Structure 1
Amino acid sequence: MQSAEPVRKYAEVAIPQQEHPVRQATTSDAAAVAELLDAFNREFDAPSPGTDVLTARLRLLIGGDHLVALLTGEPAVGVAVLTFRPDVWHEGPAAVLDELYVRPGLRGRRFGHALLEEACRLARERGADILAIDVDGEDTDTRRFYEAHGFANTEPGAAEPMFYYYRDLV
């Protein structure tokens, strides 16, 4: 018996389009987004200013034009955060997927896939030519996830991978 849901081909497998609906967060979702981002950092022993500080920041940022938070699940079990900025190399904005997180017990159930697909769709809709993602080199599972979704760490025609550099300014 065939499903009545529309399907999209991905990696030669038919996938229901709305397997895990994704919605754009509003300022009233700031606390839910903050809780997921805080959990993400704590899971990987990364510093976090805490949910109160994140909630206050997100209320300002979500209401603006340069940051979009996406949520999936009810209650929310996954989050993606995208930022957009002007870019001299492209007509549209530069789009960066700053964060993508799904609660540990729910990974492998395509919540991350749904968030990433919506992030790509939204970036295209806003006129971005590429979606950039920074991934730690030793995080092989995450690298494998993005590569399975068509992302690469080499530019077309280049043999060497790209690197991300940063410097603490505080």
Structure 2
Amino acid sequence: MIRRAEVTDVPVVCEMIRELAEYERVPHEARATEEQLREALFGERPAVFAHVAEAEDGEVVGFAVWFLSFSTWRGVHGIYLEDLYVRPGVRGGGHGKALLRELARTCVERGYERLEWSVLNWNAPTIAFYEALGARPQEEWSVYRLTDGALAEFGAG
């Protein structure tokens, strides 16, 4: 079952964010706290959204965290999927596909024209999963990021 995340899901989503960081080989990057996540998802003016996947017993086993993007070329919003994660013990059970399908459904219902995300180049199983759904890499684009010291230094100049 896929549903919108509730405030009571914050601890398990936070835990899975740390699991995802471990999987992606950057555990030190996962610094978000439950308080920060709670405020981002359920504060006065949330700009980030989440869905969770539940197993048959009601246990939350996966999540998708996303926010709105905007295409100046298309003139409409889209969804940018920040993170998709399904716990290893239940992978292959359709939870990831169901989470993505719910986001695609949201795009269609709201008239959004894009559902986009990034994937690590070395993550072959995930790339194969996405391509089996019909997603295609945007090979002519590279992702750039300013963070930590570089962001502070550039912003101060």
Give the TM-score of the pair, scaled to structure 1.
0.75
SS in 2 for 1:77: strand
- Number of residues of Structure 1 aligned to a counterpart in Structure 2: 142
Correspondence 1:71 to 2:52: yes
Q: Which runs of 5+ in 1 are unaligned?
A: 1-20, 155-159
RMSD: 1.9
Question: In the aligned structure 2, how far is the partner of 1:166 from the partner of 1:141?
Answer: 25
Q: Which residue of 2 aligns with 1:119?
A: 103
Q: 1:66 to 1:167 in 2, by over 3 A?
A: same
Q: Which residue of 2 aligns with 1:107?
A: 91
The letter for the 2-side match of 1:70 is: H
Percent of aligned positions that are identical: 30
Q: Which runs of 5+ in 2 are unaligned?
A: 153-157
Q: Within 5 Å, which residues of 2 pair with 1:39-58?
A: 39-46=19-26, 47-49=29-31, 53=33, 55-58=34-37
Q: Do the aligned residues in 2 keep the contact of 1:66 with 1:85 (CA within 8 Å)?
A: no
The letter for the 2-side match of 1:22 is: I
Q: Which residue of 2 aligns with 1:164?
A: 143
The letter for the 1-side match of 2:98 is: A
Q: Do the aligned residues in 1 keep the contact of 2:79 with 2:103 (CA within 8 Å)?
A: no
Instruction: Select 1:143's aligned residue among 123, 127, 131.
Output: 127
More helix by share: 2
SS in 1 for 2:76: coil
Q: 1:84 to 1:148 in 2, by over 3 A?
A: same
Residues 92-131 of structure 1, C-alpha deviations (whole Å, 9 max, x = no match): 2131111110111111111111111111112332332011
Give the TM-score of the pair, scaled to structure 2.
0.80
Q: Which moved more, 1:139-148 or 1:36-45?
A: 36-45
